[in-house]
Amino acid sequence: MRRPGRSLRGFQWIAVALLIGMLHCLAAETGGFEAANRLAAEGKFAEGAAAYDVLAAGGRTSPALEFNRAQARFKAGQPGRAWAHLLTADRLSPRDGTLRMAAEQMAPRIPAGATALSGADHWIHLLTLNEWAVLALLSMWIWGILAVGGLLSPTWRLKLRKAVWISGSLVAVFTLLLSGALWSRWRNPDTVVLQGDTAIRVSPLDEARTAFSMQEGAELRSRGTRGDWVLVEEPVSRRTGWAKRGEVAVLPFR
């Protein structure tokens, strides 16, 4: 029969090994980030941008990484990619004033005339979709606990009546705000053109004719995907067409 102490020590060694592995990965990422920063500081913006791209492989990113990618891409003469990275950073950290200042400075220099990170409904983007969802879920749990507590005793029902009403109102408010944030994400542009005179085709085929062209940095709405193609919609004219994935960047749904 195996002794409990041996099993416990085995789990401890596994935990230590996992911790060491995590620390090694963190150190490697930190070292890679500093190396990319060094390349950008030396004026090697294209090399620095490529080093940042390696760190972001697999969808791992952060506001700081996206901001630095934006700066490196812009100074390397790639304003479309720079604008896409800056918008991504804003979605990851919507309350960062540094990002908004950078956007105001960069927007006039985007070929397509990009707009700064603002709008009539900008207040709803002070939180990410995940944060709105957490607030809605948390308020729902609080309301449920209070409601169940009121059912356990007539005395509690009287004491908790006001709290149940307030928490129920918060559930409705946060649910409406979450719905508004989702609707805003759907109707606002979420795709950035990465190259100048990008052809938007009538069908997802290389030989398909061009429906219209878009300038570098232009913002479109994504409306679906098929293989290596993205169905996009021009916000003003509402024209739709297909663009290759490498020619546009679809922002994360955050």
Q: Going residue by residue through the chain (254 aa), what tens digit of pLDDT does each one get?
A: 445 444 444 444 343 333 333 333 433 345 577 887 887 888 888 888 888 888 887 668 888 899 999 999 999 999 999 999 999 998 888 888 888 888 888 888 888 766 655 444 667 788 899 999 999 999 999 999 998 888 887 777 788 889 989 999 999 999 999 999 999 888 888 999 998 889 999 999 999 999 999 999 999 999 999 999 999 999 889 999 999 999 999 998 87
Which runs of consecutive H residues, i.e. helices, occur in the chain? 4-41, 45-55, 63-75, 79-92, 97-106, 129-152, 154-187
Neighbour-count burial for 174-188, b at 16+ CB within 10 Å, e otherwise: bbebbeebeebbeee
What is the pairing mode between strands 229-233 and 240-244?
A: antiparallel
Nearest to 195 by CA among 77, 50, 80: 80
Dist CA 21 CA 16 (whole Å) = 9
DSSP type of residue 125: G
Q: In the prediction, which pLDDT does 70 show?
A: 92
Q: In the prediction, which pLDDT does 191 show?
A: 93
